[in-house]
Amino acid sequence: MHNYRDEGIVLQGHKLGEADRIVTVLTRSHGLVRAVAKGVRRTKSRFGSRLEPFMLVDLQCHVGRSLDIVTQVELVEPFARGIATDFDVYSAASVMAETARSITEAEPQSRTHFLLLVSAIRSLCNREHPPRLSLDAYLLRAMSVAGWAPSLLDCAQCGSPGPHRAFSAALGGAVCTNCRPSGAALPDTDALEHMAALLSGDWEKAEAADLHDQIDGSKMVSDWVSWHLERNIRSLRVLEST
């Protein structure tokens, strides 16, 4: 028998049979874990509510053939309780969780992504910043940690000093007039400066940005994520359609 214990944040859960649930947890040291939590949907379950999405937990699992088995769960921080009461906050947290799952599903080492996600979810839970700004900051940082940091000043293709107005996810970010492809986004340069402020954690500048620049920035962040993950983040599309 092989057991392990780790800290993790619950990203997702699916029903299994009449009383069980399959949970997806991003852990500090074991990467993305998918495990069966037996009997958690019964009213008398010892740890059913602890395995809801966005809960930060200390869990013990037994290694199984295809799915691990959750044997013990201790609650560390109940983020779900503060997130579920606000639709915008819940929507942003859902996008964070889905993005984290997509980025880390093929990565055995997840410590940096885990710490980044916990920090972002905690910030959302505490209402430290507007939900969409918190989300955009997380997405930019998560993609950068994964190796896909956008160029937001100099031209991503030729290196020509910026700022430049055009932005192309396919070419790596900001692009000059000579490198600009057909169909590139043409936001105001202030929108790219807003994205740079989110990426660097300059919240005073990010929150002071014009609403139009914030909207343009969000659109470019969404395009950046979708391009490099080669898939649409479903919860992000739902958020943008509301």
Q: In 3D, which of 37, 57, 208, 48 has the Cα closest to residue 121?
A: 57
Residues 61 and 154 occupy one common structural domain: no
pLDDT tens digits, 21-55: 899 999 999 999 999 988 777 766 666 678 889 99
Domain range enclosing 66:
3-77
CA distance 120 to 25: 16
Residue that is last in its domain, among 34, 49, 77: 77
Residue of 64 and 136 predicted with greater confidence: 136
Number of structural domains (the chain) is 2
Residues 182 and 154 in one domain: yes
Give the mean model confidence (pLDDT) for residues 83-101: 94
Q: Give 228's contacts (C-beta < 8 A, 6+ positions apart).
A: 143, 146, 148, 169
My answer on whether 154 and 213 are in the same domain is: yes
Specify whether 151 is located in the same domain as 211.
Answer: yes
Please check whether residues 106 and 52 belong to one and the same domain.
no
**pLDDT score of 44:** 65
In three-state secondary structure terms, 23 is strand
Give the pLDDT band (50/70/90) at residue 241: low
Same domain, 158 and 211: yes
Q: Taking the complete model, does pTM exceed 0.85, yes or no? A: yes
List CB contacts of 36: < 8 A, sequence separation 6 or more: 16, 20, 21, 22, 23, 64, 67, 68, 69, 70
Residue 20 scores a pLDDT above 70: yes
Quick: pLDDT tens for 98-121: 999 999 987 767 899 999 999 999
